[in-house]
Amino acid sequence: MVNSEESKRWLNQAENCLISAQKTYDINEFRLSVQQGQSCIELSCKAIIAQFEEPKWTHAPGSQLYSIIEDFKNSEDLSVLESLRKLAAHANEVENWHAWSVYGKEDENGKWVSASDLCTTEIARKLLEMAKISFEIASTYLCVDD
Amino acid sequence: MNSINDNIAVAELRNLIKSAILKLDLHGAQGVGILGSLVRGDFTDKSDIDIFVVVENKQEETDSFWKRKMREGLKSFGRDTTVLVYTLKGLKEINNWYVLRLASEGILIYDKANVQELFKKIIIAAKDAGLREIKRGDSRVWSINRWLKKGETFEVRVW
């Protein structure tokens, strides 16, 4: 196993999800777009983690990336650390959409909202933008140009 | 943290699961074992039973064959059963980070191909590459445990 190859594999999967998130957004399939957007962000975060260590088996890898950054914060440029922190924050912020985009969730009135009703245009647009930023951060850090 | 009684109950469950697996027809498997919460000691009422199967080669149906067999064989335990199927080649190549987790955490119940010895070699290879197990939250992970500059690589290989 070579760490850079592991990272690249995760990143390729993230890119695939980003393409799907965009395509499904363009045809108004917002639930699918949210699902793919969350996956893209999760996988982009794991691509960075895999450079250093074994990614934990979780849909919220942001905490692990935060820990790595915190352990070695004096070893890297502040601007790089700042962008990685942003990626970690995105990964934690969208974690719940992994389940919500499949099963839906209970709203504040105690009513169960289906995934397709929950995943609105606005939510899909927000996750798509976050996915683009997350993938860009991971690609830049891992220096993947192809 | 689990109480002593909980730990005894998990140990008993582990033994029952081992017995149930050994009663199955394991023809075609090079190794079978348990991993996850069942071996870590954080097994709860909601935990899955995590099983791994090592095979010589994989066909299209290999994964689903072993999943069906294990789920059928362990259904009396009333738990979801997760089954991970690895090839010997994949383990020797350490084809992803989780092979290190398997090698350090997995407990073999059936070991036709001396997979235990391979696990030892994988752990040695990881340590030779400078990796070590560290705590991340409530889990242990294999880590290089130092910052890597852009493009810096390391390799873990069983020679």
Q: What is the CATH number of the domain that holds A99?
A: 1.20.120.330
- Please give the mean pLDDT across all residues of chain B: 92
- pTM value is 0.90
Residues B82-126 have pLDDT tens digits of: 999 999 999 999 999 999 999 999 999 999 999 999 999 999 999
Residues A69-102 have pLDDT tens digits of: 999 888 878 888 999 999 999 999 999 999 999 9
Residue B150 has pLDDT above 90, yes or no: no
Exposure on the CB side of residue B96, measured as CA atoms within 13 A = 13
Q: In Å, what is the CA distance from B6 to each residue of B12, B46, B78, B143?
A: 10, 14, 18, 30
Cα-Cα-Cα-Cα torsion A61, A67, A70, A73, nearest 10 degrees, comes to -60
Are residues A54 and B155, on separate chains, in Cβ contact within 8 Å? no
Nearest-CB residue to B101 (from A9, A51, A54): A54
Mean pLDDT of B16-34: 96
- Best residue in B99, B105, B142, B154 for a mutation probing chain A (most A CBs within 10 Å): B154
Task: Give the pLDDT confidence score for residue A146 in this predicted structure.
Answer: 47
Residues of the domain holding A61:
3-142
Task: Give the pLDDT confidence score for residue B149 in this predicted structure.
Answer: 79
Which residues of chain B are at the A interface, by a Cβ-Cβ cutoff of 8 Å? 93-101, 131, 134, 136-137, 139, 141-148, 150-151, 153-157
Q: Which residue of B has its CA nearest to A6?
A: B96
In chain A, the number of structural domains is 1
ipTM of this complex > 0.85? yes
Residue A145 has pLDDT above 60, yes or no: no
Q: Which domains can be identified in chain B, with CATH numbers? A: 4-113 (3.30.460.10)
Banded model confidence at residue B4, pLDDT cuts 50, 70, 90: low
